[in-house]
């Protein structure tokens, strides 16, 4: 009896893993097909439960994030995609329960995997997949009060689950930069990789918006997966808005835009 129970449990686990693997693969294929707009839902979160943050969050609307859709529309036109509007960004409800704390960059692989599982479960319980999640990217926007010299926790975008956590300052003056980070993490969910090194400097050539520019420096735009505009090999500044950002050829290849363009 015990052997039968153990075998049944193993079979059940294998079936669950097979279903998850199939769903994940389907999700990846659908989200990178670019046959219909990806719905991007922004869920604000009050990191400290402060009245000031609550007041800021209460005045948000979908127009706050409209630069994101304009950015993807402009870049899609550049690459000749048949889809006119690759993303449709909407403001979702405020999430009261905060997600599990993300692991530090020095965390072990096992810790990262365990956090990923907890985060996906938290995402499901707080934003259930009522109508399937094959074309919906959920961005949990973790707002913080503006403090001088304050360093925010690293934002994350996960391809498995089409999920992202973005840490942002709650201020009108920061909204355009917040949209850069949202677009950056959104692209991680559809397989784009970072284009900067450990010193946060853009990696040549794929992290440069204008790798063929002569003279090379100073650059005038930022590759979205590097987010900074190089002034020299060792100095750069963060882009001020998405109008200063582009999707480079390598990123376009990673998110399947080149293939989608050739198949139109």
143: its two tokens: 């707002």
Q: What SS3 class is residue 200?
A: coil
Instruction: Give the helix, strand, coil percentages of the chain, each rounded to 5.
Output: 40, 15, 40
Phi, psi of 211 (to 5 degrees): -65, -20
Q: What are the structural domain ranges in the chain?
A: 34-190, 193-264
DSSP code, position 244: G
Beta bridge partners of 157: 164
- Rounded to two decimals, what is the model's pTM? 0.89
117: its two tokens: 């599982």
Q: Computed from CA positions of residues 119, 120, 121, 124, in that sequence, does the dihedral angle turn out positive or negative?
A: positive
Residue 65: count of CB within 10 angstroms of its CB: 22
Q: What is the CATH number of domain 34-190?
A: 3.40.390
115: its two tokens: 């956090």
Per-residue pLDDT of the chain (264 residues; tens, 9 = 90+): 567 656 666 666 565 555 555 455 555 555 667 989 999 999 999 988 899 999 999 999 999 999 999 999 999 999 999 999 999 999 999 999 999 988 877 788 888 888 888 898 899 889 876 555 677 899 999 999 998 888 898 899 998 889 999 999 999 999 999 999 999 999 999 999 999 999 999 999 999 999 999 999 999 999 999 999 999 999 999 999 999 999 999 999 999 999 765 655
Q: Using an 8 Å Cβ cutoff, are 8 and 106 in contact?
A: no
């Amino acid at each position: 009896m015990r052997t039968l129970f153990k075998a049944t449990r193993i079979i059940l686990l294998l079936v669950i893993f097979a279903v998850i693997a199939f769903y994940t693969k389907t999700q990846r294929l659908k989200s990178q097909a670019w046959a219909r707009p990806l719905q991007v839902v922004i869920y604000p979160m009050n990191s400290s439960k402060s009245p000031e943050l609550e007041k800021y969050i209460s005045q948000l609307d979908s127009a706050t994030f409209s630069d994101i859709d304009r950015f993807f529309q402009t870049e899609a036109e550049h690459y000749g995609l048949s889809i006119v509007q690759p993303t449709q960004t909407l403001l979702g409800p405020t999430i009261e329960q905060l997600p599990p704390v993300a692991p530090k960059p020095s965390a072990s692989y096992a810790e990262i995997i365990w956090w990923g599982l907890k985060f996906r479960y938290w995402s499901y319980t707080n934003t259930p997949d009522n109508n399937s999640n094959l074309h919906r990217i959920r961005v949990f926007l973790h707002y913080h009060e503006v403090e001088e010299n304050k360093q925010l926790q690293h934002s994350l975008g996960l391809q498995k689950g089409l999920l992202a956590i973005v840490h942002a300052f709650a201020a009108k003056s920061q909204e355009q930069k917040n949209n850069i980070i949202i677009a950056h993490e959104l692209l991680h969910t559809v397989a784009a990789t970072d284009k900067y090194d450990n010193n946060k400097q853009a990696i040549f050539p794929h992290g440069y918006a204008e790798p063929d520019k002569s003279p090379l420096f100073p650059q005038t735009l930022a590759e979205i997966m590097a987010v900074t505009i190089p002034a020299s090999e060792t100095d750069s500044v963060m882009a001020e808005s998405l109008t200063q950002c582009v999707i480079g050829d390598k990123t376009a290849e990673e998110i399947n835009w080149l293939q989608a363009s050739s198949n139109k």
